[in-house]
Structure 1
Amino acid sequence: MDEVEDELRPSKVEIQRIYAQSSQRWSSHARKSYLQSGFSPGSFRLRNMLGNVPSYLGHNLVAFREQSNKPEFDLYTEALSNGLSVLYVNGESLWSVGKGDCDLKEKAMPNQLLLGVQKSISCSFSGDDCFANWPEFHEHHKTQPRDGNCLAILVFAWSYIISASWVEMQQTSGTFAAQSNDRMVYLCHQAGWRDNTSDSLLDTIDVNLGDVSNDAARWWAAILAKDEGWRAEIKRNESVYRSPWSTTSIEADHQFRLRRASTSQSSFNSVSSPPSSDVALGYLTDFCLLHSAGSQCSAALAAVLTFPSLEKASLPLPSSSFYSSCVRTQLATADISSPPKSSSSPASCHVDEKDEILQDFRLLPYYMTLSCRKRGIESLLCNTFFDPHIPCKLVSAWIQPIFEVLDPLIAKKDYKVLAMVLGRQQPKFAVLWTAAIITGMARSILQHCRNGFIAIEIHSAAWTNTTQTFMSLDPQPLPSCDRIYRSDECRLLYLAGEELNSRIPICPWRPFGTTALSDTDICVRTDAHCTGGHNLRYASWSWALKNGGNVRDPGFCSDTTTQRVYTTVDDTIILDGYKETALVSETISEMATRSIFGWLRSYGWPAAEKAIYSHSWISEGSYDESDDDLEDYISDPGKVKYTSDKFDRITAWLDQYAKETEGT
């Protein structure tokens, strides 16, 4: 191998070191997961992932509560190729760039959140026995898997509850849903009913509701209907849009059949209106307590949060054995206004389950924001495989051992251990991984990451206190007075807003090495020596209003230092001596290197880097940062306006240099 080829390709020692770190970390996750009989309760708390995330549509902001009518947001409509359209609400994020005696100011990024769709998601039942027997929460390694599951039932319930909240956030104060363009409506389709004389059928899923009211019975019949039984809709710009979390139909041979505890009530005998979100939550809570299904409730909610990212969801087939016993006692309806206090009585587990459900309900506006950011959920899941300290040329050595651990689990369809392993690497997203496995989203995510396509969405990263790209790291001290790290060079180019560097690189992996300052862009030379350096740090989000104004949203947690931030480093892992290994392929490293250097050298290569741009990884192949199709496929971090005038910057720099020269 000649000297040119050595410039980019890592040494065997470097490969062995990174491979060993990755292999031992993920193997450790697998060993611990095999020893654990069920999920950890702490890993299923969705609220652990919340940082400075704004409340959806500014729900409960003081500025909006003081208005008699709901605010009119600035909306954006995107036409789709199938003749339908998607509705977005506009906003803007503000980012600090660090302090320095220079022209770099805080950076504003216009952006959108999904508001409405014209085609709801369809659902089917999976045929691969995904979580056929729910693992439950482990306790002292003794808990056995639950016989059956009711995940799909809880998913359909949360789909309605979130959609009802979506409508309620937008309704004008004092307007009833049935009289408004923003409304919840029942449709004619309903699930069937079973009485005590009915026989069990192979293609039916019998669901025992207990002793529920007529209104509750009507609601369950609507949300478990084979065809669309309800709809959440708003009217904007003369078009009707549906909730991004709503479902249309269950595309399956199976259908639900309901049963009530009272033998005299085989169905219901009243005409009901669709319940509000808090009333529906009471129905859901009663069901969870009736069937001791509280441990599945958070996973079901997280599954619904993936709906805006999917066209179709594939859910685990509920097990009829889960409802084999008929409970005839009516459980207390959930009280939304006052959560129950903990108890030391034997029923305290039910109290805890109820409290968890109520807490998640109150945090729905924040979950909805994360769910509606384009590729937001995808980027959070992909973040599990990212380490900001791995350079682009060593990505293959990092990724390969990960899937040497995961692929056997995927092949065996051992979804419980797979979810646990992924959750151990990034604990605050553990329930999201379980949800992605439940809906089938995990298949495409894992395939993308196996091929090195790690999605980036910097808003979702900021809103969850995670790092998805090296661009979010703090700058390093200059290696010498006349050189700069290429990772910091990238950041300064982006912050300066140069036309070809006006978007975040789609490659999250940092470039290796340094550049002579004399070979960098003028904006880099100007800002490289600023005291404290320059970073990219999220500051705030503002909702754009139709009248041209905006309202700042402080987010869920304004003080991120109080948040528990999980890292991807497991301190309990002790690295052994490097074992000999051979990479199956260097393709991922090659692709990452070509991508980030293509972005960094958008304006051309300095002569001193001939050994790099002549390398086969750079000169051969077609993938680079200008590949628009791949950019859309991997990530859409949003663009900022090109604000710099390169000619003026050059002139100002030359004038400054001339003055400094005259003074010497």
Structure 2
Amino acid sequence: MLFPCWNGHDTLRPSFLQSFKCLVYSRLIWRALFLQKQPAIPVSCSQVKRLLHRTPSIQASPEFLESTDRSSLALEGYTEWSLSSDNNCGLGPTKKNSTRRVYIGVSQPATCRLSADFGNWTGFNYLPGSSGNYLSILALGWSYVLSTRLIELRQKTADDGVFYTGNWALLGTLDDSPSCFSLDLDGYEFAEAQWWAALLAPGRGWQAILKRDCKSYNPSWECHLSDTNFFRLDYKAPISFSKDASPPSSNEAQRFLYNLARRYNCFDQLLAAFTAALTFPRHARSGYYITLPLPIQSSGNLLQDLEPIYEDQLPSLDEIPSFLCLSSTTNLVLSCLGSCLWDQNIPSNLVSEWLNPLLGETIPCLAPEGKVNTILNNLARRRPQVASLCLGAAITGLLCHVVRICQSHILPGSLEANAWTTSPQSFMDPENHQRIPVYLQNGRPMIPREDELRLLYLANIESRTYELPALCPYPPTGLVSLEQCSLEVQLHAHCGHRLSYLSWNWVTKNGQAMRDDGVSCSGSINPGPQHIKPRFWLSAYLTGFIRKVCLLRIITA
């Protein structure tokens, strides 16, 4: 830890020097990031498959235990952890569990409005990008794909399914209403045109339903436009839509999305829109309104075909259940977004000094038109493993909500988020467990409070399950006398206990467990050396050198 706070008489209130060092450190870190101005989005935001690391999948088993209440439908499961030890102390090796819920249904679907907050689509850094902005259209398409895939997996009766409501988008051309956005569907098959008409209808053009205990639940990913006739479909063939028609399957709907991406050559936006749809359950659970970017017509100047560049990163039909599980597990998305602001060198009593230069000084000074993109760029550089979730949150407005929340609250951490994304989340992460260092003060053995808290979490011998870890991701400060610790800590302080992830288990109706070892997929896009600008590497080298010199001076002061 760069700022130990146990060397003074007051372990709770940091000294003036400690606060000053943390403020300088914070300003150095954040301003070094903000000085690296790049108009395009970091390429790490496009690597959505980096989120899949032993990530479990929602499956079609009818034996899965479901729990319901007035507002949500969830699947029950738990994470299985292995507890190891350097000594033969009786506590390890053993296994313990942490119960979690995967929220797959809500009582009311989400609605969204169109906004210019996100700005223009700039494309991914080092990679060719499309023109125009079709993110809102494609995100609504992914909403249908994810919702329908969930229905296909969890359907039990004929009442469960996807249906048209009879509400359709307007037909015509751009000349009929210049204030509308015209989507060219000429040449598409009838079923495809009808699907787009339902997706872009004002209000609710389609609905997905899971019936449980005489109550209807909508998939957590279902999202509809607010009541406005903004879209007009350009379809020259004579058609008459019917609400009794069968909506497409998730596989067919994904093919329709690909067709639109080919027509407008916007596969980079198709990938970005998928990351946006992954954040819809968090909006639905928190009650945040979804904002999607205003669409802009393509200029049609890009000659390079983008499909070969991005097709391997787009999710396959078999990978979508893993993304469903990841985006709807308790606190996982919020933990990943909050971890972009977290720093492992900051103790809990210096959080204000760490966050204020960013939240109170830097962000309020940003120009409104580029604020979201600037925040996204910097948070994505700090946590490239979860950068794609940052992009999705920026597109839907969730990122701005998280920034505002962090001004007054600290987001909870998630051990599953660390295991499934390999991105650091809090001081409770398994890789932070170690043999506890012992310090002598006046002849009394003392241990850090953060190690005491980790060991208390591990050494709960009266329970076979783990509850939620410490809500605050920042470690507690100070030392505690080993003699004043609980008996479990005294017995195992020298054992070197460690925690490691084993697997996820789905709870079945008969109380048994169904093991799910998860899906891993690297799925990275290599931009190639021809896209890298030498000037950028020189700037990064100089920035890193200056940063190390300043940090050395601060720490040794």
**Contact 1:46–1:360 at 8 Å: present in 2 too?**
no
Deviation at residue 379 of structure 1 after TM alignment: 1.1
1:302 aligns with 2:286: no
Q: Please give the alpha-carbon distance, in whole angstroms, between the structure 2 residues aligned to 1:424 and 1:573.
A: 18
Letter in 1 for 2:378: V
1:72 aligned partner, one-letter code: E
What SS does structure 2 have at the residue aligned with 1:321? coil
User: 1:378 & 1:385 partners in 2: Cα distance?
Assistant: 11
Amino acid across the alignment from 2:58: Y
Q: Distance in 1 between matches of 2:316 and 2:29?
A: 32
Of the three residues 124, 127, 139, the one matched with 1:155 is 139
Q: Which whole-Å deviations, capped at 9, do the CAs of 1:273-302 have from their partners, x for residues lacking one?
A: 211111111110110111122111222111
Map 1:231-242 to 2 at 5 A: 231-242=207-218
> Please, what TM-score do these two structures have when normalized by structure 1?
0.71
Amino acid at match of 2:89: C
- The Cα offsets for residues 1-45 of structure 1, whole Å up to 9 and x where unpaired, read as xx997443223333333333322222122122x2x2312334311
Alpha-carbon distance in structure 2 between the residues aligned to 1:502 and 1:371: 21
Same amino acid, percent of matched pairs = 29
| Distance in 2 of aligned mates of 1:165 and 1:469 | 33
How far has the Cα of 1:579 moved from its partner?
A: 12
Mark the runs of 5 or more structure 2 residues left unpaired by the alignment: 1-6, 523-542
Pairwise CA distance, 1:223: 0.8
Q: Does 1:549 align with 2:549?
A: no
> Following the alignment from structure 1 to structure 2, what is the Cα–Cα distance between the partners of residues 467 and 269?
50
Counterparts of 1:425-436 in structure 2, within 5 Å, are: 425-436=382-393
Superposed, 1:221-620 pairs within 5 Å as: 221-247=197-223, 249-260=224-235, 263=236, 265=237, 267=239, 272-310=245-283, 311-322=287-298, 348-357=305-314, 359=315, 361-403=317-359, 404-409=361-366, 411=368, 413-472=370-429, 473-480=432-439, 482-497=445-460, 503-530=468-495, 533-557=496-520, 574-577=547-550
* TM-score, length basis structure 2: 0.83
Contact persistence 1:409–1:418 (CA under 8 A)? no
SS at match of 1:115: strand
Is residue 86 of structure 1 aligned with residue 87 of structure 2? no
User: CA separation in 2, counterparts of 1:414 and 1:510?
Assistant: 30
Aligned to 1:183: 161
Instruction: Determine the C-alpha separation between the residues in 1 that align with 2:500 and 2:245.
Output: 50
- Partners of 1:400 and 1:242 in 2: how far apart? 39
Question: CA shift at 1:252, angstroms?
Answer: 4.9
Matching residue of 1:199: 176
- The 3-state SS of whatever aligns with 2:113 is strand
User: Alignment partner for residue 208 of structure 1, among 184, 209, 213?
Assistant: 184
1:165 to 109, 128, 149: 149
Letter of the 2:246 counterpart: S
Q: Residue type matched to 1:132 in 2?
A: G
- In 2: Cα distance, 1:517 partner to 1:131 partner: 52
* Aligned-residue offset at 1:550: 1.4
Residue 317 and residue 448 in structure 1: after superposition, are their counterparts in 2 closer, same or farther (change >3 A)? Answer: closer
- Measure how far apart 1:487 and its partner are: 1.3
Q: In 1, Cα distance between the equivalents of 2:386 and 2:69?
A: 30
* 1:113-152 superposed matches below 5 A: 113-126=102-115, 129-139=116-126, 148-152=132-136
- 1: distance between equivalents of 2:177 and 2:467? 62
Q: Answer yes or no: is the 8 Å Cα contact 1:98–1:536 preserved in 2.
A: yes
Note if contact 1:94-1:538 (Cα within 8 Å) is conserved in structure 2.
Answer: yes
1:363 Cα shift? 2.1
- Give the drift of 1:92: 1.6
- Residue 518 to residue 534, structure 1, CA distance change in 2 (3 Å): same
- Give the aligned partner of residue 624 of structure 1: none
Amino acid corresponding to residue 239 of structure 1 in structure 2: K
Return the alpha-carbon distance in structure 2 between the equivalents of residues 579 and 480 of structure 1: 25
279 and 350 in structure 1: CA distance in 2 versus 1, 3 angstrom threshold: same
- Contact 1:158/1:304 (<8 A) preserved: yes
2:327 counterpart letter in structure 1: S
* CA distance in 2 between partners of 1:269 and 1:454 (Å): 46
- Tell me how far apart the structure 1 counterparts of residues 84 and 471 of structure 2 sit (CA, whole Å): 23
Gaps of 5+ in 1: 60-69, 80-84, 173-178, 328-345, 560-569, 582-664
Measure how far apart 1:413 and its partner are: 4.5
**Cα pair 2:123 2:130 within 8 Å, conserved:** yes
- Letter of the 1:398 counterpart: W
AA partner of residue 120 (structure 1): P
Question: Does the 8 A contact of 1:52 with 1:555 survive in 2?
Answer: yes
How many residues are matched?
A: 511
Code of the residue aligned with 2:447 in structure 1: it is: I
Match of 1:77 among 50, 68, 79: 68
Native 8 Å contact 1:476 1:485 kept in 2: no
CA shift for structure 1 position 438? 1.8
RMSD: 3.1
Task: Write the mapping of 1:13-24 to structure 2, written as runs, cut at 5 A.
Answer: 13-24=17-28
Q: 1:579 to 1:282 in 2, by over 3 A?
A: same
- Taking the aligned partners of 1:382 and 1:56, their CA distance within structure 2 comes to 25
Identify if the C-alpha distance between structure 1 residues 347 and 293 changes in structure 2 by more than 3 Å, giving closer, same or farther: closer
Task: Determine the C-alpha separation between the residues in 2 that align with 1:297 and 1:573.
Answer: 39
1:417 deviates by 2.1
Distance in 2 (CA, whole Å) between partners of 1:168 and 1:518 is: 57
> C-alpha separation between the residues in 2 aligned to 1:465 and 1:92?
19
CA contact (8 A) 1:161 1:280 kept: yes
SS in structure 1 at match of 2:498: coil
> Highest relative contact order (Cα 8 Å, sep 6+), 1 or 2?
2
Offset of residue 190 of structure 1: 0.7
Tell me how far 1:429 sits from its aligned partner: 2.2
Q: Distance in 2 between matches of 1:417 and 1:39?
A: 9
Amino acid at match of 1:201: P
* 1:405 Cα offset (Å): 2.9
String of CA shifts for 1:322-367, please: whole Å, max 9, x gaps: 3x77x9xxxxxxxxxxxxxxxxxx755332234433x355421111
Per the TM alignment, residue 255 of structure 1 is displaced from its structure 2 partner at its CA by 2.2
Looking at CA atoms only, which structure, 1 or 2, has the larger radius of gyration?
A: 1
**1:576-632, CA deviations, whole angstroms, 9 ceiling, x for partnerless residues?**
447999xxxxxxxxxxxxxxxxxxxxxxxxxxxxxxxxxxxxxxxxxxxxxxxxxxx
Amino acid at match of 1:553: D
Separation of aligned partners in 2, 1:485 and 1:354: 49
Instruction: Give distance in 2, aligned partners of 1:414 and 1:360.
Output: 33
Partner of 1:610: none
How many Å separate the matches in 2 of 1:115 and 1:503? Answer: 20
Residue equivalent to 2:81 = 95
**In the alignment, what sits opposite 1:82?**
none
Alpha-carbon offset, residue 384 of structure 1: 0.5
> Structure 2 counterpart of 1:111, which letter?
R
Higher strand share: 2
In the aligned structure 2, how far is the partner of 1:170 from the partner of 1:498?
37
Checking the alignment, whether the CA contact within 8 Å between 1:259 and 1:267 is kept in structure 2 is: no
Q: Give the drift of 1:396.
A: 2.2
Cα–Cα, structure 1 residues 258 and 490, in superposed 2: closer, same or farther, change >3 Å? same
CA contact (8 A) 1:154 1:284 kept: yes
Q: Is the 8 A contact 1:54 1:555 kept in 2?
A: yes
SS in 1 for 2:515: strand
